Amino acid sequence: MMFKTLESLPPTFGSKHKAPCPHSRRRSNMMLNPLNIKHLNRIDQNDADMITLNLEDAIAPSRKKEALHNIALFLSHLEQSDSFIIVRVNPLDEGGEEEIRFLNDFGFDAVRVAKVRTQTDIARALTLLSEEKELHISLETKEAFTALDTLRIDKRLTTANLGILDLLASLGLPQSLIAPENPTIDYILSKFLVDAKSTGIHPISFMFQEYNDTDRFLRWCEREKAMGFESKACMGPKRVAIANEVFGISAEALQRARYIKEAFETHAAKGINGFMDERYGIFIDEPIYKDALMTLEKE
C-alpha cells in the first residue's frame, strides 16, 4: 500500500517518478476508478499485468477534475509498481487534450484515448503525448473498426482495447448479441484480432460487464485464448486472477518450447533445418522453431 492511512493524504503532489514497467506481460488489464481512493492506494501491489486508471465514461462530468487530481496525486508519490500503468483519458475534444497535457510529466506508462476514428486523431494524440509514453486507443467506433490496419502511423501506438458496447452502438447493433456462440461477435473479435496483429498493434479483448458472473468470464477468456488473444479487460481482482491463469503460459508449454528451440538449434548447426522428433511426434522445422521462440518471449 502506498499510504498507511487515507485520512490525511499529502496536501501537495510529490516528486516521485515511477520507472517504466519491468516486464512485458499483458494477460490482464484491470480497470480502476480513481474516485476510489482505497483502490488507488494499492496500485503498487496489484496482481494485474496492466492497470487502467479510468477518467472516461465511468466518471460523472462533475467529478472528472477530482478524479484527475487523484490520479496525479498518487502517481506523484508512486515509487514502484509491477503493473503497466495506463491513464484512460476522455475524447480529445471532450477534455482529453487537457488531461494529457496535465499528466504528461507524471510517472506512468501509457495514455489510452477514447473514441478515436481516424489517423488525424492518432496524430493529434501523439503530438500531445510525451515521447517516452505509449499510446493506446479504445476501439469503439465503426470508423476505427473498419480502418484499424491503417491507424498505426507511429510505433508509439502499441495497443488497442475493444470497447464492445460502444462499438455495437456505433454499428447500430444491440448489446444482446454479446454471447460466446454468436457469429457476429465472433466476426468482430476475429477481425479486431487479425487487423491489430497484422499492423503490429496488441489487441485487448473487451470488458465483460456482468461482474459477479465469473463462470461466463472464464468461458470468454478460454474462447478468446483459443482464438489467439493474449489479454482481457478485467473488473476486480477475481477476474485478474482468472485472466492471468488462462492467458498465462503453462510449465508444459514452456518446457516444450525450450526443447524445440534447443533441438532445432542443435540440428541447424549441423546443416539440418527439418527433422522428425520422437519425443513430441512432430516434424520440427523453421516455422515450428519460430513458434517456440514466440512462446519463450512471453515467459
Half-sphere exposure of 230 toward its Cβ, with a 13 Å CA cutoff? Answer: 19
| Closest by Cα among 154, 148, 152 to 129 | 154
Cβ neighbours of 6 (radius 10 Å): 12
- Please compute the mean of the pLDDT values over residues 137-155 and round it to a whole number: 97
Domain boundaries, the chain: 28-246, 251-297
pLDDT score, position 295? 83
Cβ neighbours of 123 (radius 10 Å): 13
Question: What is the per-residue pLDDT across 179-198, written as a single tens digit (0 to 9) for each?
Answer: 998 999 999 999 999 999 99
Q: How far apart are CA 28 and CA 233, in angstroms?
A: 6
Q: Is 172 exposed, middle or buried (0-12, 13-18, 19+ CB in 10 A)?
A: exposed
Res 112 pLDDT > 80: yes
Give me the CATH code for the 28-246 domain, please: 3.20.20.60
- Please compute the mean of the pLDDT values over residues 190-212 and round it to a whole number: 96
| Global pTM value | 0.89
